[in-house]
Amino acid sequence: MRTKLRTETDLDLFIAIAKEGGLRRAAAKYNVPVSRMSDRLRALEEQMQVRLFHRTTRSMALTEVGLALLTHVEPALAALDNALEVATAGDSEPSGILKINAAPPAAELILAPHLPGFLAQYPGIDIQLTVEDALIDIVREGFDLGIRYAENLSADMISVPIGSKQRYVLVAAPALLDKTGTPSSITDLSRVPAVRHRFPSGTLLPWEFSRKGKLIRVEPNNRLITDNPRVAVSAALRGTGFLLIFEDYVSRWIRDGRLVALMRDWLPEFNGPVIYYYSRKHVPLPMRAFIDYMKSVAPA
């Protein structure tokens, strides 16, 4: 771990309270008494002449002013730390903790195979990886990097493509096809039993198929709904239903004949995921090392 290059300020403590969700956890993080943390927060509010948190006996929540301050001051202090690190790093090896948030397919299919190699090459860097479907604000949630598929990124985010093109595939077990028959058209899929993916928001997206500029959406007959791809694949292998999923999850079972791929000409390739991060003039050394490594092993 690298040594902090500047003295902690009341703004750093404000950020810690906001991130940790309360005085006690923030005080524990900085190893100071809760009363001291409370005094410094009160002093900051008095200096600014604003209330930064709504307080009850059980919880603390940012006020509108507090949220605006967090949004602006956190990246500013991070940029200052980064500039100090770059100025003093010289030829030293990158070190520190890298916090990454990734969508499950990106983490499991693109990132996971390369993490051991990266950690072996950079023994001074530790990674904390959170894998989740939910779209989040990586800056607000305290992550250094995000890895996701084509999503709308804000203007102040930098994105770096990684990984080759991928595709979805529609599969079914041979035994299920013996019962239902093999669909001859996309419209036939509205009558087949299906294993579906549900997002954390509860959203259940229709199946989408496209060819020569024509897009068709299908709502099949749901037999199983899950947010876990491994559960979905296991169910498909046992004939529970048709499954639309990233091809890499099921390619080995397609090769050995346990699953049959259907409608391939309606499922074109799409771009792989991107690494994205808050726009900074000076990218921290661990982030730069990770980005460069992933670009070299999983090129776009």
Q: Note the pLDDT tens digit of each residue in 6-45.
A: 567 888 888 888 888 888 888 887 788 888 889 989 999 9
What the block records as the tokens of 144 is 């250094």
Q: How many domains does the chain have?
A: 3
- Asked whether residue 62 is domain-assigned, the answer is yes
Domain end call among 73, 89, 105: 89
CATH (domain of 59)? 1.10.10.10
Say if residue 177 is in the same domain as residue 200. Answer: yes
Predicted confidence (pLDDT) at residue 57 exceeds the cutoff of 80: no
- Asked whether residue 231 is domain-assigned, the answer is yes
- The C-alpha atoms of residue 151 and residue 170 are separated, in whole angstroms, by 23
- Asked whether residue 154 is domain-assigned, the answer is yes
Predicted confidence (pLDDT) at residue 160 exceeds the cutoff of 80: yes
- Asked whether residue 4 is domain-assigned, the answer is no
User: 129 - beta bridge partners?
Assistant: 100
What the block records as the tokens of 90 is 């010289």
Residue 19's Cβ-count burial label (10 Å; 0-12, 13-18, 19+) is middle
Domain end call among 39, 56, 89: 89
pTM of the full structure = 0.68
- The C-alpha atoms of residue 252 and residue 99 are separated, in whole angstroms, by 32
Domain end call among 34, 56, 89: 89
- Asked whether residue 1 is domain-assigned, the answer is no
- The C-alpha atoms of residue 99 and residue 157 are separated, in whole angstroms, by 16
161-208 confidence digits (pLDDT tens): 998 889 999 999 999 999 999 999 999 999 999 999 998 888 899 999
Say if residue 103 is in the same domain as residue 179. Answer: no
- Asked whether residue 2 is domain-assigned, the answer is no
| 205, HSE (Cβ side, Cα atoms, 13 Å) | 12
Predicted confidence (pLDDT) at residue 156 exceeds the cutoff of 70: no
Q: Are 18 and 70 in contact (CB under 8 A)?
A: yes
Our CA angle for 128, 132, 138, nearest 5°, is: 65
- Asked whether residue 3 is domain-assigned, the answer is no
Give the orientation angle of helix 10-20 with respect to helix 34-48, to 10 degrees: 110
pLDDT tier at 157, thresholds 50, 70, 90: confident
Residue 223's Cβ-count burial label (10 Å; 0-12, 13-18, 19+) is middle
Say if residue 26 is in the same domain as residue 67. Answer: yes
Say if residue 258 is in the same domain as residue 210. Answer: yes
Predicted confidence (pLDDT) at residue 252 exceeds the cutoff of 70: yes
Say if residue 193 is in the same domain as residue 133. Answer: no
Range of the domain at 25: 10-89
58-92 confidence digits (pLDDT tens): 778 899 998 999 888 877 777 676 666 666 555 56
Q: Are 120 and 42 in contact (CB under 8 A)?
A: no
Contacts of 120 (CB under 8 A, 6+ apart): none
Q: What is the pLDDT of residue 112?
A: 94
CATH (domain of 128)? 3.40.190.10
Mean pLDDT of 142-152: 83
